[in-house]
A and B are shown apart, each in its own frame.
Chain A
Amino acid sequence: MTLLLLAEQVLNGLQFGVMLFLMSAGLTLVFGVMGLINLAHGSLYMIGAFAAAAVAAATGSFLLALAAALAAAAAAGALVEVIVIRRLYDRDHLDQVLATFALILIFSEGTRWLFGSFPLYLDTPGWLSGPVALPGGIQYPAYRLALIVVGLAIAGGLGLLIAKTRLGIRIRAGEADREMTAALGIDIRRLYTVVFALGAGLAGLAGAMVGAIQSVQVGMGEPVLILAFVVIVIGGIGSIRGALIGALLVGLTDTLGGLFLPRLFALVMEPSAAASAGSALASMLIYILMAAVLIFRPTGLYGAEA
């Protein structure tokens, strides 16, 4: 194996991780601030991708498509928060799981009804289609590199938003003590809607950006949602920094595991058996990572002690 292949796979892992972060950030914020487990977060990811595909097909502009994804997912998030989610904050987790599971059914079938069962395609924009040469002679697709840069920029921006701005201070206050924050004259209901829409927008953006390298189809959100859960469990619920570290760990483990395990097994087995055993184990690797973190730190790497 060449060093070049390794570098390329590390970049792929980073790209995967950064997109997972955009998903996990919203989930972990919503859980941290409102104490809500939201299974329908994957549907918002899907809504973003579909909105982007529709707008790109109509206007031909990728940037407009991204803006539409962000707006559509945030609007859908705000709407769902006001109509349904708001009633769930005081309920136990079981009710939250069920109601958001019901939302998945409604969103998925509704999208299938509107757009049909066939996957849509969203093309990467022309100005990002070629490869770029990186130092060390690595040729890497410009679009994927852009995803990494955009994702990391959003992660930084989100960190600043939480740490420095008035909204961020309110979010942290709401996380620490709901009643006290409300007593200080902050409209906590509106704050919750804003936080939910923010998380939804990030998920929609991720859906649109990933939709350009994969196909846009009904049910695309849930596998990513479950990976985002793994990320949050590893990073610790409610922690943005934990979500970033967890997302990068999961992204790199998954990508590099798929690369190395079959080769590792090939040292002791015949090639075909090694390929199947290696890929089977590689598909389980991130869950093994999660189990390992759980054994040593049941509340995740950056989670508060229970």
Chain B
Amino acid sequence: MSREGWFNLALAGLLVAFPLAAQAMDEPFLVTLATRAVILALAGVGLNLALGLGGLVSLGHAAFFGIGGYAMGILASHAQGYTPLAEWPLLIEGTKSMPVIWLVAVATSGLAALAIGALSLRTSGVYFIMITLAFGQMFFYFAISWPAYGGEDGLSIYVRNGFPGVNTLVPLPFYGLCLAVLALALMLCWQIARSPFGLALNAARQSAKRAETVGLSPYRLRLAAFTLSGAITGLAGALHADLNRFVSPAMLSWQTSGEIIVFVILGGTARLFGPVAGAGVFVALEHLLGELSDFWHIWLGLLLLAVVLFARGGVVGLVCGERRHG
């Protein structure tokens, strides 16, 4: 097994052992912290599909994260208020069931990614970055100025939603549920990277022209990757909102987009476990530096600058050495 393989295995082991140890030491707060890291890692895994495999630098993934969050908030708030979402043309009730919420979050954020991607992918490079950022901002302002679901104040729910057979109110089982979702997403990405689709996408990233000459359509490949990427990030958004029992326009803000990119880069672009390592380091820094100083973002900024300028492979790159191909 390669060094990266061992690293991934160790990381997976840590994901299982850390919360169990925290639980044994009677530190439920650390379990919640780990849950946050796992959910943010899932958001990063979603972006990594577009960014790492597809080479699409999206600065608008907060849109999908937030749409997933609002899918949870809207469905759950209707369920707890016993008001139907819509009565015509057919009756739609709210729900407190996680599987249904996840399905809705994946579908809506995937649809949004399809629409944004269809427009943004007409361009490339720096235009693409600016346009995804702008579309993300569009959803942010829409959420602020649309008063039906809390506007600027956001939307909170009283009780965490349920999953059949799991007591989601207790930190550890909820962590397990989130970890299972992350594991499934990682498996999916691993399969995709080896599939004909993944190979074609990789080819389109390295040279769109060459991909075209062998009969592939870079636009379609990228749109598919972008849509799937948005859907996974949307699912993470639903989980994140459920963790906090709260969703607000802050989830849609451009800082969120920046942070999701930071997870991916801090960990190591296009590495399967990169976002997991990145989100873990981010949450740990946030916790440790946040205790030391109110201005911990300065240190995060300096660290990020150092990673970009001097350690381009991120955490995984530092531990496992440079990638053989890029």
- Inter-chain CA distance A186–B127, complex, in Å, is 29
- Inter-chain CA distance A101–B300, complex, in Å, is 11
Given A106-B301, A109-B301, A112-B295, the answer on whether A97 and B59 have CB atoms closer than 8 Å is: yes
Chain B residues whose C-beta falls within 8 Å of the C-beta of A222 in the assembled complex: 254
Given A95-B308, A98-B261, A103-B305, the answer on whether A108 and B297 have CB atoms closer than 8 Å is: yes
**Minimum CB distance partner of B301 in chain A:** A105
In terms of DSSP, what is the predominant structure of the interface of chain B?
helix
What interface size band does chain A fall in? 35 or more
Query: By the criterion CB–CB under 8 Å, are B141 and A98 in contact?
Result: no
Mark B120-131 against chain A: 1 for CB-CB distance below 8 A, else 0. 101101110111
**Minimum CB distance partner of A277 in chain B:** B146
A168 an interface residue at 8 Å Cβ cutoff? Answer: no
Given A233-B134, A283-B142, A291-B119, the answer on whether A37 and B305 have CB atoms closer than 8 Å is: no
B309 an interface residue at 8 Å Cβ cutoff? Answer: yes
Mark B90-133 against chain A: 1 for CB-CB distance below 8 A, else 0. 00000000000000000000000000000110110111011101
Q: How many pairs, one residue from A and one from B, have CB atoms within 8 Å of each other in the complex? A: 122
**Minimum CB distance partner of A106 in chain B:** B301
Given A101-B258, A229-B130, A232-B130, the answer on whether A93 and B125 have CB atoms closer than 8 Å is: yes
Query: By the criterion CB–CB under 8 Å, are A105 and B304 in contact?
Result: yes
Contact of B146 among A113, A237, A280, A294 (CB under 8 A): A280
- Inter-chain CA distance A233–B128, complex, in Å, is 9
A253 an interface residue at 8 Å Cβ cutoff? Answer: no
B298 an interface residue at 8 Å Cβ cutoff? Answer: yes
Give chain A nearest CB distance to B161 CB in angstroms.
Answer: 27
Query: By the criterion CB–CB under 8 Å, are B142 and A94 in contact?
Result: no
Contact of B127 among A39, A237, A279 (CB under 8 A): A237
Contact of B119 among A98, A223, A294 (CB under 8 A): A294
B57 an interface residue at 8 Å Cβ cutoff? Answer: yes
Which of A95, A102, A104, A109 lies at the interface centre, i.e. has the most chain B CB atoms within 10 A of its CB? A102
- Inter-chain CA distance A87–B131, complex, in Å, is 25
Within 8 A of A (CB), among B281-315: 295-298, 300-302, 304-305, 307-309, 312
Chain A residues whose C-beta falls within 8 Å of the C-beta of B254 in the assembled complex: 222, 226
Chain A residues whose C-beta falls within 8 Å of the C-beta of B307 in the assembled complex: 98
Given A99-B305, A230-B134, the answer on whether A106 and B298 have CB atoms closer than 8 Å is: yes
B246 an interface residue at 8 Å Cβ cutoff? Answer: no
B39 an interface residue at 8 Å Cβ cutoff? Answer: no
Chain A residues whose C-beta falls within 8 Å of the C-beta of B122 in the assembled complex: 294-295, 298
A290 an interface residue at 8 Å Cβ cutoff? Answer: yes
Which of A39, A279, A287 lies at the interface centre, i.e. has the most chain B CB atoms within 10 A of its CB? A287
Chain A residues whose C-beta falls within 8 Å of the C-beta of B145 in the assembled complex: 276, 279-280, 282-283
- Inter-chain CA distance A113–B299, complex, in Å, is 13
B42 an interface residue at 8 Å Cβ cutoff? Answer: no
- Inter-chain CA distance A237–B265, complex, in Å, is 26
B85 an interface residue at 8 Å Cβ cutoff? Answer: no
**Minimum CB distance partner of B265 in chain A:** A98
- Inter-chain CA distance A287–B125, complex, in Å, is 19
Binding site for A on B (CB under 8 A): 51, 57, 59, 119-120, 122-123, 125-127, 129-131, 133-135, 137-138, 141-142, 144-148, 254, 258, 261-262, 265, 269, 295-298, 300-302, 304-305, 307-309, 312
10 closest A-B pairs (Cβ-Cβ)?
A105-B301, A287-B138, A102-B304, A106-B301, A283-B141, A229-B130, A102-B305, A109-B297, A109-B298, A102-B301
Known: A84-B305, A237-B127, A284-B142. 16 other contacts (CB 8 A): A95-B308, A97-B57, A97-B261, A101-B261, A102-B301, A105-B300, A105-B304, A112-B295, A226-B137, A230-B130, A233-B131, A287-B135, A287-B137, A294-B119, A294-B120, A298-B122
